Amino acid sequence: PASNLGLEDIIRKALMGNLEE
């Protein structure tokens, strides 16, 4: 579960990146 959460965090941050720009 911990590594899955890490993966989801990376994905969410990277997806959000575009919105912030």
Partner 1 sequence: EITKDQQALVKIIVEAYNRHQIPQDVTKKLLQDQYSAEENFLLLTEMATNQVQVLVEFTKNIPGFLSLDREDQIALLKGSAVEAMFLRSAQVFNRKMPSGHTEVLEDRIRKSGISEEFITPMFNFYKSIGELHMVREEQALLTTITILTPDRPYVKDQQAVERLQETMLDVLRKMCVLQHPQDPQYFARLLGRLTELRTLSHYHAEMLTSWRMN
**Interacting residues toward partner 1 by CB under 8 A:** 3-4, 7-8, 10-12, 14-15, 18
Q: How far is the CB of 9 from partner 1 (least distance, A)?
A: 10
Q: How far is the CB of 15 from partner 1 (least distance, A)?
A: 6
AA identity, residue 7: L
Residue 20: name the closest of 10, 6, 9, 12 by CA. 12
Q: How far is the CB of 12 from partner 1 (least distance, A)?
A: 6
Q: DSSP letters of 1-21?
A: -HHHHHHHHHHHHHHHHHHH-
